[in-house]
Homo-oligomer: A and B are copies of this chain.
């Protein structure tokens, strides 16, 4: 783990909120490993023995329904932690995790965390902050699915990816479109069509590059209740 990794770790809600020496103790001799694309980190129902920090790449969390369909619950990237709350949830992961892009992850044993918390209770406060952060993300996701159309959900997704808030920009999609679709609660075909519907709003897509003429236009589109465009 080099200084750059350390910087990433410190940028997470979990490790950023705790004193430096405590963070050092926690991740001291934990392992950084490279995981190939497609690796299953854990399955829902497995005993929750450790949690992760993403140093590079992307990881998806999902649930499998009895008939085999998968519902993506979250996609995590550099600077995010996941599964840390599961450590306290009856010891079982409520979701499955899979690496979707060859990734470097820092893995931290739950037992270590629990032990440290007893010695250094402030860690628990950091964990609460982190947990609250995830709660909020989930709440926002539910709101999104329930009240936005497919094109609006993608527009929102693009806006969050956008480094600027006005004017235009070009961004690269972080991972496969099929996964984006899953994350947004729709099928790949719908994603295609929805992106096509955004064309009149100044969105053009070329492979994984998306260019946006006017971000503010998108923002207003997401906030509009009438779901069609008029006069085009």
A146 on the B face (CB < 8 A): yes
Residues of B within 8 A of A222 (CB): 66
Residues of B within 8 A of A68 (CB): 225
Residues of chain A in range 46-85 having any CB-CB distance to chain B below 8 Å:
63, 65-69, 71-73, 85
Contact with B along A219-231 (1 / 0, CB 8 A): 0001111000000
Q: A89-B133, A127-B128, A133-B89 in contact; A143/B71 too (CB < 8 A)?
A: yes
A147, B125: Cα distance in complex, Å: 34
Chain A interface mostly helix, strand, loop or mixed?
helix
Closest CB in chain B relative to A153 CB, distance in Å: 12
Closest CB in chain B relative to A89 CB, distance in Å: 4
Report the interface size class on chain A. 35 or more
Q: A69-B225, A145-B185, A147-B65 in contact; A89/B139 too (CB < 8 A)?
A: no
Residues of B within 8 A of A225 (CB): 65, 67-69
Residues of B within 8 A of A135 (CB): 85, 89, 94, 131, 134-135, 138
Contact with B along A84-116 (1 / 0, CB 8 A): 011011000011000000000000000000000
Q: Which of B128, B129, B185 contacts A146 (CB 8 A)?
A: B185
Residues of B within 8 A of A69 (CB): 147, 225
A32 on the B face (CB < 8 A): no
Residues of B within 8 A of A63 (CB): 139-140, 143
Is the CB–CB distance between A73 and B142 below 8 Å?
A: yes
Q: A128-B124, A133-B89 in contact; A95/B139 too (CB < 8 A)?
A: yes
A binding-site residues for B, Cβ under 8 Å:
63, 65-69, 71-73, 85-86, 88-89, 94-95, 117-118, 121, 124-125, 127-129, 131-136, 138-143, 145-148, 185, 222-225
User: Can you list 11 contacts pairing A with B, beta carbon distance less than 8 Å?
Assistant: A65-B143, A65-B147, A65-B225, A66-B222, A71-B146, A85-B128, A85-B132, A94-B140, A121-B124, A124-B128, A135-B138
